[in-house]
A and B are shown apart, each in its own frame.
Chain A
């Protein structure tokens, strides 16, 4: 029963990202609550396999609710979480500012991976990418995710995954 709770929370987080958090944002960019939650688990959690499984599940659910063809978000979320795990050794210590830096790093990684995935899938063309708009969107997303990091930091004693 206890092992179901983290996944129920993850399910709820995905639902909230597709509903409630759509109201909190600007110019079509909003808080990536699920990603922050996964990065939080990578930073404070200890279990690689379960975090990767959570990333896969989150991608699976996000894919279900998204207008994108199935599979792209699973790929993007798992790849971003894996890369964040791999780069974790660069972020020494677990102070608040290191956590904030890690969230920012993870957000940038996720956006880069998603853009590359969509580019490879020909859902986005090189000519169609407006890099100034992409940079602006990334800045808004970073700001919102960092605000979320402030909320998550006090919860570090309760590792979700």
Chain B
């Protein structure tokens, strides 16, 4: 019988192997230790600068590959989807007309009352996703904007259509890492658009986001649109988070939970926007 240890041609004793491992582990520990001394890792920034052209090319190719594959597999559903979209479009046009009327009314009323729109003016910069996190269950990605572009920790990141993706978790000179709202450590103050039922949203073990701390008798149901409430002091109010998929009632507790399907789910666009503080 062949023994693998022998096949490896081990000339080094186990002791020596431990020494070699200890050397590498010490180098890794040094990197960990150095993190505490610099706010923005220069090593990481340099590494990202080297790898970004390659990862960008790989991301563009992967995106193309999977978009083509998806189009081919979904081609049979196109006529049904088209009919649904036409109906939805008709409803949205009617709604848009109503909103236009309301907007006009608001402008007129403001002019009469002499009220100006308050609140903080926020600026937006566009960024590109360079790569996703290579570690499973680490819901983050890297963008090509960093401290030099004015990005700071805690800035909200959205995609086209005011859809919330997450917040900036780490900033380097030219790059930043963005933590998605699917991350369990990311808490988002949220509320339903219809009844303004509020709760706190975070990642869950399932593919849905979990909206917790909803009052037991609050009015919320499947299909409700969930927006940011702005109460967490991180995310601006009114960003789209997702739609309620199902409600989880707990007979004993004083709160109930809602499982929310994130609006960004399945997004493949590489373009995102950072809302600067």
Contacts and interface: CB of A to CB of B under 8 A. Distances in A.
Most buried by A among B48, B51, B137: B137
Contacts of A59: 28
B90 to A, nearest CB: 34
A20 B28 contact: no
A3 interface: no
Interface string B32-66: 11110000010110011001001100110110011
B131 interface: yes
Contacts of B35: 69-71
A19 B58 contact: yes
A29 B136 contact: yes
- Tier of interface size on chain B: 35 or more
B24 A65 contact: no
A71 B29 CA distance: 7
B1 interface: yes
B262 to A, nearest CB: 12
A36 interface: no
Given A15-B58, A67-B142, A79-B25, A128 B32 contact: no
Contacts of B185: 128
A53 B24 CA distance: 8
B207 interface: yes
Contacts, number: 177
Contact of B205 (A23, A45, A49, A130): A130
Contact of B62 (A19, A93, A94): A19
Interface residues of A, number: 65
A52 B140 contact: no
B1 A18 contact: no
Interface string A22-49: 1101111110101000000001011011
Interface stretch (B113-121, B150-158, B176-184, B226-234): B176-184
Interface in B108-134: 131-134
A69 B32 contact: yes
Nearest to A95: B2
Given A65-B55, A128-B185, A94 B131 contact: no
A85 B31 CA distance: 24
Contact of B55 (A18, A23, A30, A132): A18
A57 to B, nearest CB: 10
B67 to A, nearest CB: 10
Interface string B1-38: 11111011110101001001100110111111111000
B97 interface: no
Interface in B181-209: 182, 184-185, 205-207
A88 B24 contact: no
Closest 9 CB pairs of A and B: A64-B47, A71-B31, A67-B140, A133-B205, A71-B32, A67-B177, A74-B28, A18-B131, A89-B5
